[in-house]
Structure 1
Amino acid sequence: MRWQTLIAVVAILAVLVLAGLGAYRATTVLVPDSGGVYREGVAGSPRYLNPVLAAGNDVDRDIVALVFEGLTVADSKGQIQPRLATSWEVSSDSLRYTFHLREDVRWQDGVPLTADDVVFTVGLMRSPDLNGRQSAVDLWNAVQVERPDAHTVVLVLQEPFAPFLHLTTFGLLPAHLLKDVPPADLASHSFNLHPVGTGPFMVREVTDQHVLLGVNGSYYGTRPYLDAVEILLYPDYASVYAAYTRGEIQGISHLSATDADKAAANPSLNLFCTPLSGYGLVFLNLEHPIFQEREVRLALLLATDRQLLVSHILHHQAIVADGPVPVTSWAYSASATSYTYDPQAAIVLLEKAGWVDQDGDGVREKGRLKLEFALLTNDDETRIQLINELTRQWARIGVRAIPQTVGVAGLVRDFLQPRNYDALLYAWQRLPTDPDPYTQWHSTQKQGTGQNYTGYTSVEADLLMEQARKTADESQRAALYRQVWDILADDVPAIPLYQPVYCYAVDKQVHDVRLGPLYDYPDRLRTLTDWYINQRRVLVSEEPLWSQR
């Protein structure tokens, strides 16, 4: 009997414990807690942790995005939001931009941020000694800077330029540390590996194996949950994925198509894939006699199976592009003119235009002109596959494209910039957040450093682009841009192919990771201050208190 009584007592106690535990869990909730180190693997190594020098290095731009800040910042839709400037006004003539700086910002060494830092940074960007693009140097040399007081700065333009606000996202540099450094010497200065910014994270250590960032304790904004971020350095992206399998990292900064498939099948990983600003296209040299006929250009577009390119060659790390505006852009319109794959319509179009295969060799002719041309790209394996597939597709409608490849540097220097090509496969990357098409499609940009590589001319499109540059209202500017896209879609000066998709993976132990459309790779870290590893259980009634950081 005593054993039976003991068993009954134990059973009752177990029920009470389970009931209590259940009641506890029913009245409590898990909330984010501070602490933990997030480790992410990247391919490459840092060189210039400096916003005016970082443009050419992916690792540099990743770190700079966490350490430095600009007057403004672009959100996931490419629209401009306040950052170090709390607000701004634009004069009625659209020439004067007055920015009001936050008064609670300190550099990571404790010195207050002032308008002097803005004046200094703009002065640096005017210098050709920083090896920047001459067009950017010319732009900033045309901007006058005024400093009414310590927390106000005025940028004065010589003529209205509506996209200008999108250029104010540049990271500011501390004048008190660098004002005595000649611009020509900045690239060799120790600051580039021991930077001081205003952002939520600060560089603690840089070695050939990692970059360690700690939390900026004097940050004016919301403190990150994480105590530190460690960026581990690997020779290539394949090595980054292998590092995750060894347990060295929690985040994989970029995934190839093969590794993306592995990540999708891994139950420990969250996979994120999102459109990346940019697009691949085939430039058509409009000086070439056969490309002077719109029917030929349109036939090539109709005969291009872009979905096949995306699925079979790019392995779904891209989406079909219908024009020069990425779907990530605030100016994108799903109702813009587009074309579907229709090789039969392409054949009809060519035959009506007088292009027929007179000698039975599979290539159409019109008088003395044969419908053949060289199709050039760089020696990247994927690009080669793309031009070979385009060659096959166009052959089916009686067009002979002759695939050719050169080195990456030679493609731009020897062929694209001098307009010395027939047709050329290229990809625009990291397009600006304001989709101003002027430098790529305005007729004044057909020569020299302009990027109108096809030699396209449209009086109507020119006028619309000029009007858009003088229109401050963003919605009105978007409407003007859409008219330009429709004209380009009708004239077909190039063959739009695809917009890239960026894939990224993070271990499920890291919470609240969100990935929206990207304009550049560092945008994947846009919400890093909200990510957390640690959690704690609190009463439901206390949850609102814990959500206030």
Structure 2
Amino acid sequence: MLESKNKNQDIYRFTISRVLQFLVGVVLCCLLILTTGCRPILLNSQSNNNSKLVLVNPSPPPTFNYPISRSPYGIFGFIYEGLISENGLTGELEPALAESWIFSEDKKRIIFTLRSELKWSDGKPLTADDVVFTYQDIYLNPKIPTVYKDFLRIGSTGAFPSVKKIDKRRVEFILPEPFAPFLRYIGRLKILPDHALRDTILSTDADGKPLFLSTWNTNTKPQEIIGNGAFRLENYIPSQRIVLQKNPFYWRSDLAGNSLPYLDKLIIEIIPSTDNQLLRFRSGELDSIGVDAEAFQLLKREEKRGKYKIYNGGPNLNFQFVGFNLNQGINSQGKPFLNPMKSRWFNNLAFRQAVAYSINRQQINNNIYRGLGEIRHSALAVQSPYYLSPEAGLKVYKYNPEKAKKLLLDAGFQYNDANELLDKDGNRVEFTILVKSEEKLRIDTAVQIKEDLSNIGIKANLQVLNFNTVLQKLFLSRDWECYVGAFGVPGADFEPNLLSLFWSSNGSFHQFNLGSKPGEPRMKNWQVSDWEKEIDRLFTAGYQTVNENQRREIYGEFQQIVAEQLPVFFLVNSLSLQAVRNHIDNLKFSAIGGAFWNIDELKIQEK
């Protein structure tokens, strides 16, 4: 027998309490990665057309191909939807392309029923065939190296679900075992058009790879990119702007029967400099801007005159960190990804602990974040119901350079007469800190870390690169040494299994020790530490466990391992601040969804 959706919500809904973090501009880091396509900052056009807004991204999109994109700076949240979605106020799961879903009694089968008369942005019908194609031929295709495959791994074996069409509007997913996070994962995966992409899956290039991998790049004609979201692509001028127009075939409408979105166009300006973004906002051109600590006091003073409000969502849930490359693997040319000498330093726990004690995070918060941040200690945010606090036993690293020096000396390092740190073989300890160029606060943080490291005799050099190049070094060439970055997935602090992308040894964003990805030759000499294996075990236990007290114990143990082993060291989380002009109507700001999660419902009041 199949049970109703409502009857099973209490069983299958994840623990959602006070707040979730809306990921804006990150990274899988981040990603981000993220992974569902973040929504950029809203800006206002100088046009007299009040149904048009202009947005901003700091980097151009590397591709318009959603499944293979790793950048957080995409437009996918505007042009695509999945079967279900998350409410930006409550975090609750809600119907999207699917109007309902039901579970079998053994919790291994889920049937989704699509809304009637769904259409793609080119007017073609959207049916169950598209859902089956998206999952079976793209996400679960071994020839497609998509990070979203990780969302579909079930159980300790990493087995995948199967999907089949029941009829035109119904699709059934069959799981190898009950898997609590699956329903929320489904909400993160967008549905793609069978009629526009099937040929690219079936055809291959000269190397035998599906043409899909080179489809819908940034040179593709906009009308060829088909979506199902509130907007569709109208034009793209590389490295300048993306123009989106209202999708006339979008399924949503308001209570009066008016089709959504209310906005006719969105223009995403590509402006790398946050200083330039601030300048345009203060001059009155822009409707909204993310407010960093550096700009807060200035913008707060002008709040009334500028006719805007600064919203505060509390500390960001994504984590800022500094971490070392622990990968001991060998590349396809037979060379180590990392200098073996430096690899020995980085894989020395005492070395990582010494670095943790050497960084003055309070000074970073005071000087760089202007006090508008909170020092972070754990892999989970303080808002998480699974958070392990220092008071409850979490290991922390308060600023103590003398303790850092002692750890290094006890580990066999030494100092010369110039107080420069040497390893046991007399080599100067020197490495490069990688940081993205688009975020001044992060660069300033890297500079502060460089100075702190010099106080314990370590020479650090900065490498400031655009974010797309940073991603290539992290996930392709793997030839980085130290990285100041950030990572977050919306909802992950309330369903920690979402963080398996970063923490599990086979995760696509396991950047500090990234193994072979699908389509790559098997990496030689890649080593997974015992503590990484233990984190893998804990994440498996976490998704298999229903009892919340037991889950808290499991994820508490995970946080302690991270704190003790320091694959990354957490820094300062800034407050989530957003300035929004008062004439944007129907704004529903929340710490969960941010300012513009309901962009299809926004209106512009007459000025």
TM-score by length of 1: 0.70
Structure 2 residue matching 1:228: 3-state secondary structure: coil
1:215-245 CA deviation, whole Å, 9 max, x = no partner?
A: 7576345357873253234341555444445
Cα offset, 1:376, TM superposition: 2.8
- Listed as ranges, the gaps of 5+ residues in structure 1 are 1-34, 536-549
Is 1:448 aligned to residue 448 of structure 2? no
Is 1:505 aligned to residue 560 of structure 2? no
Q: 82, 92, 100: which is aligned to 1:70? A: 82
Once structures 1 and 2 are overlaid, which stretch shifts more, 262-271 or 222-231?
A: 222-231
Is 1:270 aligned to residue 325 of structure 2? no
Structure 1 residue matching 2:110: 3-state secondary structure: strand
Q: Which structure is higher in helix share?
A: 1
Cα offset, 1:276, TM superposition: 5.6
1:151-208 CA deviation, whole Å, 9 max, x = no partner?
A: 3212234566554334312222344555556572642697844655444x34484465
Q: 127, 141, 162: which is aligned to 1:144? A: 162
Match of residue 339 from structure 1: 396
Q: Which has the larger radius of gyration?
A: 1
Cα offset, 1:321, TM superposition: 2.5
Contact in 1 for aligned 2:84/2:93 (Cα 8 Å): yes
- 2:139 is matched by which residue type in structure 1? M
Q: What is the percentage of aligned positions where both structures have the same residue?
A: 19
Q: Aligned in 2, Cα 1:79/1:369: closer, same or farther, shift over 3 Å?
A: farther
- 2:263 is matched by which residue type in structure 1? A
- 1:449 is matched by which residue type in structure 2? S
Alignment of 1:110-259 (within 5 A): 113-122=126-135, 123-127=137-141, 132-133=146-147, 142-158=160-176, 162-168=180-186, 169-175=188-194, 179=198, 182=201, 184=211, 186-187=215-216, 192-193=222-223, 197-199=227-229, 201-203=230-232, 205-206=234-235, 208=237, 211-214=243-246, 216=248, 219-222=251-254, 227-236=262-271, 237-245=274-282, 247-252=284-289, 254-255=290-291, 258-259=294-295
Contact in 1 for aligned 2:121/2:247 (Cα 8 Å): no
Alignment of 1:39-58 (within 5 A): 39-43=53-57, 51-52=66-67, 56=71, 58=73
TM-score by length of 2: 0.64
Q: Aligned in 2, Cα 1:510/1:359: closer, same or farther, shift over 3 Å?
A: closer
Q: Distance in 2 between matches of 1:107 and 1:415?
A: 35
Task: Give the total of aligned pairs.
Answer: 491
- 2:300 is matched by which residue type in structure 1? A
Structure 2 residue matching 1:525: 3-state secondary structure: coil
Q: Distance in 2 between matches of 1:310 and 1:221?
A: 45
Q: Aligned in 2, Cα 1:97/1:532: closer, same or farther, shift over 3 Å?
A: same
- 2:71 is matched by which residue type in structure 1? G
Cα offset, 1:121, TM superposition: 2.0
Q: Distance in 1 between matches of 2:325 and 2:97?
A: 43
Cα offset, 1:116, TM superposition: 1.8
Q: Distance in 1 between matches of 2:347 and 2:460?
A: 19
Match of residue 42 from structure 2: none
- 2:324 is matched by which residue type in structure 1? F
Cα offset, 1:118, TM superposition: 0.8
Cα offset, 1:478, TM superposition: 5.4
Q: Distance in 1 between matches of 2:448 and 2:379?
A: 22
Match of residue 386 from structure 1: 445
Contact in 2 for aligned 1:105/1:220 (Cα 8 Å): no
Is 1:376 aligned to residue 463 of structure 2? no
RMSD between aligned alpha carbons? 4.7
1:118-176 CA deviation, whole Å, 9 max, x = no partner?
A: 11222233457767459669969944211122332122345665543343122223445
Q: Distance in 2 between matches of 1:184 and 1:282?
A: 36
Structure 1 residue matching 2:77: 3-state secondary structure: helix
Match of residue 25 from structure 1: none
Q: Aligned in 2, Cα 1:479/1:220: closer, same or farther, shift over 3 Å?
A: farther
Structure 1 residue matching 2:579: 3-state secondary structure: strand
Cα offset, 1:485, TM superposition: 0.9
Q: Aligned in 2, Cα 1:403/1:88: closer, same or farther, shift over 3 Å?
A: same
- Listed as ranges, the gaps of 5+ residues in structure 2 are 1-48, 202-209, 329-342, 508-512, 518-522
Q: Aligned in 2, Cα 1:507/1:378: closer, same or farther, shift over 3 Å?
A: closer
1:268-319 CA deviation, whole Å, 9 max, x = no partner?
A: 1222354263432222649755556645433432332213223423556754
Contact in 2 for aligned 1:290/1:296 (Cα 8 Å): yes
Q: 452, 460, 469: which is aligned to 1:402? A: 460
Contact in 2 for aligned 1:281/1:496 (Cα 8 Å): yes
- 1:457 is matched by which residue type in structure 2? D
Q: Aligned in 2, Cα 1:356/1:110: closer, same or farther, shift over 3 Å?
A: closer
Structure 2 residue matching 1:149: 3-state secondary structure: coil
Q: Distance in 2 between matches of 1:390 and 1:433?
A: 29
